[in-house]
């Protein structure tokens, strides 16, 4: 049996040669792409730039048991692009820093970049280069995304106002349940939940629609709804009340919860990596948004306050404490 080539076999520059193709999907914004010490790109007149970064570490964010190489590459792009959606911005330019062990097969990294190209192509994002270095601690992938948003229109966490409706896009809890399913080897039984974990969809179009519709605040659901809505309440200095029965759950999550005797709501409120959007909007503007489909009202902003969130469950109201993912406590 022929030995599979590793990065140590081919070296850094041959690795770069093999993956550096089909990188540009919006050529009108690029003056100089990958290949030099820096890329040169343009920002259209009348737009602000938005920049963000996210890192994926093997053993924390993914394992070869839970994600294929292509899934890992797609996921890296999606979680970065999601940061743009949460600002009402459009992702346009992406760079990647990869720390890779020498014994990693070249097939893995080529497949990873296939997933990266797939996501960049899907959302028309230019891949402008990056950096590759060695690692003695497993695979570490860092993406930096640059987006554009009409001048002075980026949506922040700090804009929630008394009387606003609180909303979320999509359904919550699917990704964290999907991780449990992958670890249990039950992907075939619950395929949608597994895909929601492996290949999340950044809500770029919803971010644009919500910005244009006057959303007063936005946040992405990356570390659990309890954490993200508390971030909005704290940044906006308001008191928020959510209604448990209105938080949207997928049919497959409910079926899995029933089959495994697990509470789906716990995954929805505390599970991470759904990459849906949560935010607030005035009652007047909500009348337009609620008719779009895929957006659910789950509560309201009660008043100015100390940045607290309460959860109403039938006749009881309790303080919603932060229980989402924390890298240094979880």
Task: Give pLDDT, residue 20.
Answer: 83
With a cut of 70, say whether residue 327 has pLDDT above it.
Answer: no
Helix (H, G, I), strand (E, B) or coil at 164: coil
Mean pLDDT value across the chain: 94
Pairing of strands 47-57, 277-281: unpaired
With a cut of 70, say whether residue 328 has pLDDT above it.
Answer: no
| Rounded Cα distance, 297 and 275, in Å | 17
Q: Which residues contact 8 (CB under 8 A, 6 or more apart)?
A: 102, 103
300-320 b/e with 16+ CB inside 10 Å = b?
Answer: bbeeebebbbebbeeeeeeeb
Q: Which residues contact 188 (CB under 8 A, 6 or more apart)?
A: none
Mean pLDDT confidence for 13-40: 90
Taking only the tens place, the pLDDT of each residue in 266-297 is: 999 999 899 999 999 999 999 999 988 999 99
With a cut of 90, say whether residue 42 has pLDDT above it.
Answer: yes
- For residue 284, CA distances in Å to 87, 94, 277, 308 come to 21, 36, 20, 24
Task: Give pLDDT, residue 14.
Answer: 87
Q: Report how far apart the first and last C-alpha atoms of the chain are (Å, whole number).
A: 42
* CB 31, CB 41: distance < 8 Å: yes
Task: Give pLDDT, residue 325.
Answer: 57
Task: Give pLDDT, residue 324.
Answer: 57
Q: Is the pTM of this model over 0.75?
A: yes
Residues in the chain: 330
Match 């303080």 to its residue by tokens: 319
15: tokens are 């690795």
With a cut of 70, say whether residue 326 has pLDDT above it.
Answer: no
Helix (H, G, I), strand (E, B) or coil at 195: helix
With a cut of 90, say whether residue 35 has pLDDT above it.
Answer: no
Which of 17, 56, 18, 19 is closest to 138 using CA atoms? 56
Confidence of residue 75 (pLDDT cuts 50, 70, 90): very high
Taking only the tens place, the pLDDT of each residue in 110-120 is: 999 999 999 99
Q: Pick the range with the lowest mean pLDDT from 4-13, 47-56, 303-312.
A: 4-13
Which of 205, 185, 176, 180 is closest to 265 using CA atoms? 176
Task: Give pLDDT, residue 329.
Answer: 57
* CB 301, CB 159: distance < 8 Å: no
Query: Who wins on pLDDT, 136 or 71?
Result: 71
């Amino acid at each position: 049996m022929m030995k599979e080539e590793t990065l140590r076999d081919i070296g850094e520059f041959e690795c770069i040669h093999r993956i550096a193709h089909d990188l540009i999907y919006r050529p009108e914004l690029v003056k100089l792409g990958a290949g030099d010490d820096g890329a040169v790109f343009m920002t259209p007149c009348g737009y602000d730039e938005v920049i963000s970064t996210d890192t994926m570490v093997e053993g924390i964010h993914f394992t070869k048991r839970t994600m294929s190489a292509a899934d890992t590459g797609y996921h890296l792009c999606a979680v970065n692009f999601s940061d743009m959606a949460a600002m009402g911005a459009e992702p346009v330019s992406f760079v990647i820093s990869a720390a890779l062990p020498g014994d990693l097969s070249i097939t893995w990294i080529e497949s990873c970049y296939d997933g990266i190209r797939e996501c960049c192509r899907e959302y028309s994002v230019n891949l402008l280069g990056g950096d590759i270095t060695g690692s003695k601690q497993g695979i570490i992938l860092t993406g930096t995304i640059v987006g554009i948003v009409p001048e002075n229109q980026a949506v922040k966490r700090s804009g929630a106002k008394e009387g606003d409706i609180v909303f979320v896009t999509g359904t919550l809890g699917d990704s964290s349940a999907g991780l449990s399913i992958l670890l249990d080897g039950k992907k075939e039984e619950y395929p949608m939940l597994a895909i929601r974990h492996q290949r999340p969809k950044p809500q770029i179009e919803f971010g644009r629609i919500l910005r244009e519709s006057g959303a007063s605040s936005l946040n992405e659901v990356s570390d659990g709804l309890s954490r993200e809505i508390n971030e909005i309440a704290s940044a906006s200095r308001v008191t928020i009340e959510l209604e448990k029965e209105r938080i949207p759950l997928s049919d497959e999550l409910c079926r899995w919860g029933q089959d495994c005797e697990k509470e789906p709501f716990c995954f929805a409120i505390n599970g991470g990596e759904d990459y849906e959007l949560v935010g607030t909007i005035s009652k007047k503007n909500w009348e337009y948004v609620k008719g779009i489909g895929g957006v659910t009202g789950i509560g309201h902003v009660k008043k100015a306050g100390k940045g607290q969130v309460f959860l109403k469950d039938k006749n009881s109201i309790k303080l919603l404490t932060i229980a989402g993912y924390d890298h240094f406590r979880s």
